[in-house]
């Protein structure tokens, strides 16, 4: 049959048959427009620095958590129905427990590889939160959150907070003695809320504590609600990273208007893709050799039983610390109770986390800087910001000590009461000391940079001059180093100027502007930064008498 069927494509003159891969790509492009997408992204440039992989650790552990979590749902029964255990784990034979706890025992002892997946899941969660914490402070200390990345900072902050609650609801699911105690604590904290506390408690637990609903409700929150929101935030976070392009440290050839590095395809495909496997492999090996949350050793939850040394996962230790060291203040008036001893920790927990979320907006309000920033600060070049960050971290770690006061007491034979008092004092004193010390260190490092720029690097060579004086030879820095060490910006403090003009007419200055000027002065005024060397200073020293 040689009737010429003239299909437009096949008859096109000079048409070669494209390779299969290209034909698939053509097909997809005709429907999804992938070529335009790949044009701007396939060879996208990413700068290289070790600290840029911290966020990757978070992303990969998040993926690992989802993969292992889906597996766990195949075996876990989120039910508080009471059963009597008759499984393979001898010590629990005949013990009354919830189905949730029994099915967690089955995952651990009956399902081959179930224990491994459970441990990978939990280890990955612990690493996920730790990774987010470190990543967040990398971003904070380098000022990477500045315009245009403030919204991405908020996305990241929300991921950290939601991660904490997803972790909490997750480790509560097995309904073991330890996690049940944590849920009880949460219920007690909810009760402390004025007016609405008892209602929220009744609605959350479907009645009185513990009732029969909380595990099923936590389950849907843990596997659907929170991870769903988090997945959206993660995708948004990544899209914004691509859209803004990555920040970079100052250096030769690096400006605010470019991004220097290597292309996504192939280098970062291989590096980042490979790094996923490194993280997954690392966590799998930890899960093989280090047990985590051995719920079989704890027993099922009973509201009238408890074990000593009860500790939440590390990321909740901060909140735990507030609750442990707070004095037990209670105000009883007009037939109502204000449970300040629990309410204040609850509020502080939110406020201290919230400060972190707001900081980019506070800083940009003080500086009034509306420009985009793509060059990262060295922490030393923003001494007040760095000092504030360290003060925040100090509070965080002081509270972690408070959250584990019993562990510190038993492991180091210390008085528990003294530790609690130490934490109470350190909550106020610690951040102040940390702030002062950090700022001084930053200023010292700035002075050293200035010294190096102007006088060169100490070469370690001692030279004896004809008249007998010994001097150390200073080696001038390379142009690359000179540029790198002087590339940072320095803000000038905001000046309000005279409030009365030459005609004696008073100019109105709002209280807010005055506050802003004060803050600006403390951030960028005298004593808050070391003026960076100027070209004139440099020329005078280098052209003059040479090395002194």
Partner 1 sequence: MSSQEIPEENLPEEQGAAHDAVDKAHADPFADPGLPAHRPRIQDLDERAAKRSERTVATMFLLSMLATVGFIASYVIFPVDKIVFIFPFGHVSALNFSLGLTLGLALFLIGAGAVHWARTLMSDVEVADERHPIEATPEVKAKVLADFADGARESALGRRKLIRNTMFGALALVPLSGVVLLRDLGPLPEKKLRKTLWAKGKQLVNMNTMEPLRPEDVVVGSLTFAMPEGLEEHDEDFQTQIAKAALMIIRIEPDDIKDKREREWAHEGIVAFSKICTHVGCPISLYEQQTHHVLCPCHQSTFDLSDGARVIFGPAGHPLPQLRIGVNSEGNLEALGDFEEPVGPAFWERG
The footprint of partner 1 on residues 211-240 (CB under 8 A) is 211-213
Q: Which is nearer to partner 1, 160 or 404 (CB)?
A: 404
Own/partner pairs, 437-445, CB within 8 angstroms, 24+ separation: 438/383, 438/386, 438/387, 438/390, 438/391, 439/383, 439/384, 439/386, 439/387, 439/528, 441/380, 442/379, 442/380, 442/381, 442/382, 442/383, 442/386, 442/387, 443/383, 443/527, 443/529, 443/530, 445/380
What is the distance between the alpha carbons of residues 484 and 482, in angstroms, rounded to a whole number?
A: 6
Query: Cβ closer to partner 1: 427 or 435?
Result: 427
CA pair distance 93, 389, nearest whole angstrom:
51
CA–CA separation, 305 vs 181, rounded Å? 9
Q: Nearer to partner 1 by C-beta: 6 or 257?
A: 257
- Binding-site member from 62, 140, 160, 280 for partner 1 (CB under 8 A): 280
Among the listed residues 162, 165, 271, 292, the single contact to partner 1 using CB under 8 A:
271
Please give the C-alpha separations between residue 311 and each of 60, 101, 175, 177, 401, in angstroms, as whole numbers. Answer: 27, 19, 15, 11, 12
Largest CA distance in the chain: 108
Q: In the set 13, 21, 479, 504, which binds partner 1 (CB under 8 A)?
A: 479
Q: Fill in the DSSP letter of residue 251.
A: B
Taking the complex as a whole, the smallest distance from the CB of residue 325 to partner 1 amounts, in Å, to: 7
For residue 434, give every residue at least 6 positions away whose Cβ sits within 8 Å of its Cβ, in sequence order, or none: 387, 390, 391, 393, 394
* Subset of 304-323 contacting partner 1 (CB under 8 A): 304-310, 323
List of E strands, 139-202: none
Closer CB to partner 1, 349 or 392, in the complex: 349
**Minimum Å distance from CB 168 to partner 1?**
15
Candidates 223-231, 286-294, 386-394, 462-470 — which segment interacts with partner 1 by CB under 8 A? 286-294
Candidates 228, 274, 350, 527; binder of partner 1 (CB under 8 A) is 274
For 59, the enclosing helix (H) or strand (E) is helix 54-73
In the complex with partner 1, the residue whose CB is nearer, 222 or 324, is 324
Kindly state the smallest distance separating residue 181's Cβ from partner 1, in Å.
6
Give 32 or 265: the residue with its C-beta nearer to partner 1: 265
Min separation Cβ 229 and partner 1, Å = 17
| Site for partner 1, residues 148 to 207, rule: CB under 8 A | 148, 181, 184-185, 187-189, 191-199, 201-207
Which residue in the set 457, 483, 518, 521 belongs to the binding site for partner 1 (CB under 8 A)?
483
Map the footprint of partner 1 across residues 400-419, applying CB under 8 A: 405-406, 416-417
Helix, strand, or coil (residue 13): coil
513 binding partner 1? (CB under 8 A): yes
The footprint of partner 1 on residues 32-91 (CB under 8 A) is 44-45, 48, 82, 88
Residue 467, exposed/middle/buried by CB under 10 A (0-12, 13-18, 19+)?
A: exposed
Of positions 252, 294, 354, 444, contacts partner 1 by CB under 8 A? 252
Q: How far is the CB of 187 from partner 1 (least distance, A)?
A: 7
How far is residue 539 from each of residues 146, 147, 345, 510, measured CA to CA in Å?
34, 35, 57, 44
What gap in Å lies between CA 166 and CA 175, rounded to an integer? 15
The sign one gets for the Cα dihedral 206, 208, 212, 217 is positive
Interaction mask 423-452, partner 1, x per CB under 8 A: ------------------------------
Q: Is 470 exposed, middle or buried (0-12, 13-18, 19+ CB in 10 A)?
A: exposed
User: At 82, phi and psi to the nearest 5?
Assistant: -80, 135
Cβ burial of 450 (10 Å; 0-12, 13-18, 19+) is middle
Q: How far is the CB of 430 from partner 1 (least distance, A)?
A: 20
Residue of the chain from 23, 86, 302, 507 that contacts partner 1 (CB under 8 A): 302
Within residues 124-153, the interface with partner 1 by CB under 8 A covers: 148
Q: Which of 388, 434, 442, 487 binds partner 1 (CB under 8 A)?
A: 487
Site for partner 1 (CB under 8 A): which residue of 160, 209, 396, 408?
209
Show the site string, 340-359: x = touches partner 1 by CB under 8 A, - = not.
Answer: xxx-----------------
Residues that contact partner 1, how many (by CB under 8 A) = 144
């Amino acid at each position: 049959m040689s009737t010429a069927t003239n299909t437009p494509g096949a008859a096109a003159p000079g048409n070669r048959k494209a390779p299969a891969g290209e034909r698939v790509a053509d097909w997809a492009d005709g429907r999804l427009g992938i070529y335009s997408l790949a044009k701007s992204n396939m060879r996208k440039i990413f700068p290289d620095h070790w600290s840029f992989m911290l966020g990757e650790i978070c992303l990969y552990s998040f993926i690992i958590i989802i993969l292992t979590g889906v597996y766990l749902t195949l075996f876990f029964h989120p039910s508080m129905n009471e059963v009597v255990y008759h499984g393979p784990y001898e010590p629990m034979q005949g013990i009354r427990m919830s189905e949730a706890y029994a099915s967690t025992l089955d995952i651990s002892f009956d399902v081959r590889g179930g224990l491994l997946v459970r441990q990978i899941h939990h280890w990955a969660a612990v690493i996920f939160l730790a990774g987010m914490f470190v990543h967040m402070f990398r971003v904070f200390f380098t000022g990477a959150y500045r315009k245009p990345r403030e919204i991405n900072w908020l996305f990241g902050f929300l991921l950290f907070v939601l991660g904490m609650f997803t972790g909490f609801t997750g480790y509560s699911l097995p309904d073991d003695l330890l996690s049940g105690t944590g849920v009880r604590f949460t219920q007690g904290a909810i009760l402390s809320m004025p007016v609405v506390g008892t209602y929220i408690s009744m609605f959350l637990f479907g009645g009185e504590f513990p009732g029969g609903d909380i595990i099923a409700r936590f389950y849907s929150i843990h596997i659907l609600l929170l991870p769903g929101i988090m997945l959206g935030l993660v995708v948004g976070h990544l899209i914004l990273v691509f859209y803004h392009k990555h920040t970079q440290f100052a250096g030769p050839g690096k400006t605010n208007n470019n991004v220097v590095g290597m292309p996504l395809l192939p280098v970062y495909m291989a590096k980042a893709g490979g790094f996923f496997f490194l993280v997954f492999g690392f966590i799998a090996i930890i899960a093989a050799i280090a047990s985590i949350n051995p719920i079989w050793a704890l027993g099922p939850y009973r509201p009238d039983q408890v074990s000593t040394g009860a500790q939440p996962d590390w990321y909740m230790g901060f909140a735990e610390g507030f609750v442990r060291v707070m004095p037990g203040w209670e105000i009883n008036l007009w037939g109502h109770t204000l449970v300040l001893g629990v309410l204040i920790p609850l509020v502080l927990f939110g406020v201290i986390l919230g400060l972190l979320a707001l900081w980019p907006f506070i800083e940009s309000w003080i500086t009034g800087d509306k420009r985009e920033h793509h060059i990262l600060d060295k922490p030393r070049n923003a001494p007040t910001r760095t000092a504030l960050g360290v003060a925040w971290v100090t509070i965080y770690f002081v509270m972690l000590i408070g959250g584990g006061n019993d562990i510190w007491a038993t492991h180091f034979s210390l008085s528990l009461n003294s530790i609690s008092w130490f934490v109470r004092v350190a909550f106020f004193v610690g951040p102040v000391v940390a702030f002062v010390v950090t700022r001084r260190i930053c200023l010292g490092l700035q002075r050293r940079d200035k010294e190096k720029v102007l006088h060169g690097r100490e070469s370690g060579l001692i030279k004896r001059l004809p008249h007998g004086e010994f001097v150390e030879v200073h080696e001038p820095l390379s142009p690359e180093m000179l540029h790198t060490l002087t590339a940072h910006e320095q803000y000038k403090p905001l000046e309000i100027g005279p409030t009365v003009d030459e005609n004696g007419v008073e100019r109105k200055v709002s209280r807010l502007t005055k506050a802003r000027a004060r803050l600006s002065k403390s951030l960028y005024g005298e004593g808050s930064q070391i003026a960076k060397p100027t070209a004139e200073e440099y020329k005078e020293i280098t052209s003059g008498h040479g090395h002194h």
